[in-house]
Structure 1
Amino acid sequence: MTTEQTTRRHPMRWIPTLYFAQGLPFYAVALVAGLMYKSMGMPNDQIARWTGLIGAAWVFKSLWSPLLELASSKKSVVVIFQLIGGVSLGLVALSLQLPMYFAISIALLAVVAFASATHDIACDGLYMASLSNKQQAAYAGWQGAFFNAARFFSLGGLVYLAGYLEKHMDPAHAWMIIFGILSVMLIVLALYNLWALPGTKNAPMETSLKGAFWILKDVIIDFFQKPGIWIAIIFIILFRAGEGQVQTIGPLFLREAKELGGLGLTTDEVGIVYGTAGTIAFLTGSVLGGYFTSWLGLKRALPYLIIAMNLPILVFVFLSSNLPGNLGIITAALCIEMFGYGFGFVGIILFIMQVVAVGKYQTAHYALGSGVMQLGFIIFKMISGDIQIALGYKNFFIWALISAIPVLILSRFLKIKDEQKVTETV
């Protein structure tokens, strides 16, 4: 692992734009693309399977993480891959006018996913290198909040705009405009971050490709030699079992026709309900979850975070059972679910950061840990469409709630050290 000297900047100068830029391509792949394909007539199982498969880039990103140590600084990697992601999103927009748009756009979204996953490694490394443990915990809520502010911008503003455009033009042209906006937004963020991010300078190291692969080998061996690592891996995979399925099928359920068991909302209504009010609730939960964990400590807070993240899945059971037509009721229900999701998600981030990633390869091990987290998300995302088709929406959401129980049980067996008292100011 390299050591770094960082230029001191106030965290709120760069955390918002850094994690907004991290979230923008992620949500483009994970959520916005699914709604686009739904509007263009693709079935749920195909949407879940292929958008889930693309997400494998976030699973395996740690395999090329040592190569990023060859770069002069993490800041340069962050900016370069933000630009690559922005250009690729622009190409996705153009591909929607082609006859084989689905295959081509999926391939281009895979490039977006690769660029975004690579960006994440340097992004999180920069975050950890620039902040103390106390600051990491305190700003974890803001980190998650601005990552998911991209959700607000994408699912709220852009999906609402897509719904408006669909009423005036065909879906392909409407979504071409949406992905064009995503492209421009990410490129602008890259240019701002070129100025705003704290400067880093990597200490000299062996700069050969062979040396990088030796580092990778040592990183992996050291990771799997950590005490209790296998229980930690299972815990990380299962942490998102319920949420991963609900976050995939939930927006599709909102769009599905009532005669097919959905709520029958239009695209712009989904933008209002799920992307605006729901995302505001998520951001509020994220910030409060970060401060709650900083106050109580990860060890004592974790069970409450797991419950907060999964129990609100009950609102989808309610919605799929009653199929309310009142937009206010739907909005209120989803705000409860999204607040709990945001509050609880802080738990897995800090568990990986402060338990799994601790050691001489902090950045690389955080990438491995977050890759395992994404593996859990991808596994349950890819099977969610088939399970929903087999069970129907109501029974699917009951299943999603039940599938969250094992991680709560497993949390009792984790070995998390009590946090040491620190005196740093945030």
Structure 2
Amino acid sequence: MIKANWSVIMVSCHYKASSSSTRRISSALMKTNRHHHHHTINFNSHNHFKHYHSDRNAFILNNKNTMMDPEDDEELKRLTHLGRIHEHNFEGMEDRTAKLAEDLLKGSRVALSKSITLVESKLLEHHKQARHLLAYLAKLKPMNEVKPSFRVGLSGPPGAGKSTMIEAVLAVDPSSTRTGGSILGDKTRMIELSRMEEAFIRPSPSLGFLGGVTANMYEIISLCEYAGYDNILVETVGVGQSETLVADLTDMVILVVPPAGGDELQGMKRGIVEVADLVVVNKADGDLIYVARRARGEYRSALHYMRPKYPGVYYPEVVLCSSRRENPMEETKFPVSNVWEKALAFRKVMNEHGLIEEKRQEQRKTWMWKQVNEELVTRLLHGDESTSKFIASIQNFVEKGEMSPRLAADCILQKFLKTHK
């Protein structure tokens, strides 16, 4: 059996009813530096937090210089032991969930589709089965035994030609035995791939809020890796805060922009250019070639004034690209294959310096805190009746202007800590 080694994930969030193909995903990083010089919460009243509270920073577990005392060490060992027991406790796991994991490791596209559906579901029972699924996959094949993949994020404004370029990359990739992959997006945006039997295409739900999709995307990428895909492309629309999300998901960020400059370049958010490892000026063909060259010069100038992400190791480049395949003679000027060669060169340099693994370690910590953040909010919103009434009362005070949002947040947190002693 020949396995397709491409997985393309089109991240779609913040659904707009006017166009099914115009979606974006936004993610706000959990702020870990929140200074409360004056607060009313007594962290010392709770055993799990009393050793991590400082006068200058009241955020839980944020002081990296805090020394762990013997009591903390014993507590950590106890929690780690419980975690190991829980990891191997599959009580309540359905047989079909176990079968799903086994089929996924065999590279089944149907199993991958069902697994993603299970992970995305917000039903409580599905949430439990998704947790069993991920734990069972880790038991059958630990992540450190999974073949390392190359995660590439493609971001850029709508109409830049990201989907067209993805189709072209899959067609020209010299390392693939055949074109194929997993696509989480609209079939209408990748017409040729939608006709291929090897292609797996699926729309991504918006869910209407930030936490849902962002919390699932890391797990969805892991599912694609378990299914055996070597190259994973994550496409987002580079507006809002989606560039932060794609940088926290991938090894490399490619910014795809149309051949424009001047006011259009000034309107591009600084953040999306800062996280880019490679800027691709697309549609560099026909009458647009001169505009594309001018845009390339402007982006090079803009990058020159930005702090490099990997000083002394790698500096972002700006290249021209044409994804058109109607006229093969035009495509040879700036083929998409050049973009992929640049991406592979980036991967080689980063691996030589151990920076991809270092980045993934930071990403795992980031997503751990995202999960903690979402779980805390979920427990607050879906707590017992007493907590729900308390939160409703606090919200009422805030709406009337009788309480500041910060004081309200402190009161809710104090209530949460008191309830979960």
Q: TM-score, normalised by structure 1?
A: 0.27
More helix by share: 1
Structure scoring higher RCO (CA < 8 A, sep ≥ 6) equals: 1
More strand by share: 2
Report the structure number with the largest CA radius of gyration: 2
